[in-house]
C-alpha cells in the first residue's frame, strides 16, 4: 500500500500539463458557449419582434374597426330617417299685384292674385269681314287686354282697325299686338273724348290675306274687376274695290 502511494506521487510530480492544449480547449468551450448565448439571444429577439408586429397589427385592426364603427354611427346620427318635405314658396300679395308693362307682346300668364275671365260679344259681319270682341282670359284685377278677332274672307288691300277703351279710371296703355306682320301697319295710341284709342292702319301697297286676324289692346286700370261694356271697336276693309265696315261693343261686365 505504501509502495502504491509512493508510485502515484512520483507519477504526479513527474506529470507536466499541456498548457497550450488546455488554453485551446478553454477557448473552444468559451466560443461554443458564446455561440449558444448568441443563438438564444437571436431567438428571443425574433420572438419579441414577432410579438410586437402581431400586437401592432391587432392594434391597427382595432383602430380601423373602431373608426368604421364611429363613422357608421356618425352617418346614422346625421342621416334623417325621412327626407325633408319640399318647401313650396307662394308669391306674396305685393309681388302678385305688381303691374306688368307689356309692349307689343302676347298676353302674359295670369298671376296668382288675378281673376282670369273671358267674355265675348256677338259677332258683327259685313261683306268679306266679320268681327268678335273679347276680354282676354289673362286679364286681371289691375290689368286687361281687349281682343278683336277679325275673319277675312278675301284678301284686303286696305284695312283700318280701331279699339276704343273707355276711361273708367286709371286707364294707361301698356302695349298692343296683332297676328299680322306689325310692319304692315301704322299703329297709334291716343286719348280722345274719354277713350284711349288704339288704331291700326294698313300701309299702302300691303295686303291682308284671307285668314283670321287678331288685334289686341293692353292697358292698366284701377284695381278691381273692370266693366268693358263701354269699350267699342270699328273695322273698315276693302276687297276687290268694295269697302266693308263693322262696328260693335265689348261685352258688359267683362
**Above pLDDT 90, what percent of the chain?**
49
Classify residue 162: in a domain, yes or no. yes
- What does the pLDDT read at residue 164? 98
Considering the domain architecture, whether residues 118 and 243 belong to the same structural domain is answered as: yes
Considering the domain architecture, whether residues 243 and 149 belong to the same structural domain is answered as: yes
- What does the pLDDT read at residue 61? 38
Classify residue 98: in a domain, yes or no. no
Alpha carbon dihedral 146, 152, 156, 162, in 10-degree steps, equals -20
Give this prediction's pTM: 0.56
Considering the domain architecture, whether residues 53 and 129 belong to the same structural domain is answered as: no
pLDDT band of 71, cuts 50, 70, 90: very low
Classify residue 7: in a domain, yes or no. no
Range of the domain at 56: 16-78
Considering the domain architecture, whether residues 23 and 133 belong to the same structural domain is answered as: no
Q: What is the mean pLDDT of residues 148-172?
A: 98
Q: Is the pLDDT of residue 101 over 50?
A: no
Considering the domain architecture, whether residues 71 and 187 belong to the same structural domain is answered as: no
Q: Which residue has the cell 307662394?
A: 90
CA 48 to chain centroid: 64
Q: Is the pLDDT of residue 55 over 80?
A: no
Q: What is the mean pLDDT of residues 111-136?
A: 70
Classify residue 90: in a domain, yes or no. no
Residue-wise pLDDT tens digits, 200-226 = 999 999 999 999 999 999 999 999 999
Q: Which residues contact 100 (CB under 8 A, 6 or more apart)?
A: 108, 143, 174
CA distance 115 to 209: 36
- What does the pLDDT read at residue 182? 96
Q: Tell me the CATH number at 236.
A: 2.60.40.740
Considering the domain architecture, whether residues 125 and 60 belong to the same structural domain is answered as: no
- Look at the chain and report how many structural domains it folds into: 2
Amino acid at each position: 500500500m505504501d509502495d502504491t502511494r509512493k508510485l502515484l506521487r512520483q507519477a504526479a510530480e513527474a506529470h507536466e500539463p499541456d498548457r497550450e492544449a488546455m488554453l485551446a480547449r478553454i477557448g473552444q468551450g468559451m466560443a461554443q458557449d458564446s455561440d449558444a448565448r448568441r443563438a438564444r439571444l437571436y431567438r428571443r429577439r425574433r420572438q419579441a419582434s414577432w410579438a410586437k408586429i402581431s400586437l401592432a397589427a391587432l392594434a391597427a385592426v382595432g383602430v380601423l374597426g373602431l373608426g368604421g364603427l364611429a363613422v357608421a354611427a356618425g352617418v346614422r346620427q346625421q342621416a334623417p330617417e325621412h327626407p325633408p318635405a319640399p318647401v313650396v314658396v307662394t308669391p306674396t300679395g305685393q309681388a302678385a299685384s305688381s303691374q306688368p308693362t307689356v309692349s307689343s307682346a302676347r298676353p302674359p300668364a295670369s298671376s296668382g292674385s288675378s281673376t282670369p275671365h273671358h267674355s265675348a260679344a256677338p259677332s258683327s259681319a259685313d261683306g268679306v269681314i266679320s268681327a268678335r270682341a273679347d276680354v282676354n282670359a289673362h286679364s286681371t284685377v289691375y290689368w286687361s287686354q281687349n281682343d278683336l278677332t277679325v275673319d277675312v274672307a278675301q284678301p284686303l288691300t286696305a284695312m283700318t282697325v280701331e279699339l276704343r277703351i273707355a276711361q273708367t279710371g286709371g286707364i294707361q296703355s301698356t302695349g298692343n299686338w296683332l297676328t299680322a306682320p306689325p310692319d304692315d301697319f301704322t299703329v297709334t295710341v291716343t286719348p280722345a273724348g274719354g277713350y284711349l284709342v288704339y288704331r291700326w292702319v294698313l300701309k299702302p301697297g300691303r295686303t291682308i290675306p284671307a285668314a283670321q286676324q287678331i288685334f289686341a289692346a293692353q292697358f292698366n286700370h284701377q284695381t278691381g274687376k273692370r266693366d268693358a261694356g263701354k269699350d267699342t271697336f270699328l273695322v273698315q276693309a276693302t276687297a276687290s274695290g268694295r269697302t266693308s265696315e263693322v262696328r260693335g261693343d265689348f261685352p258688359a261686365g267683362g
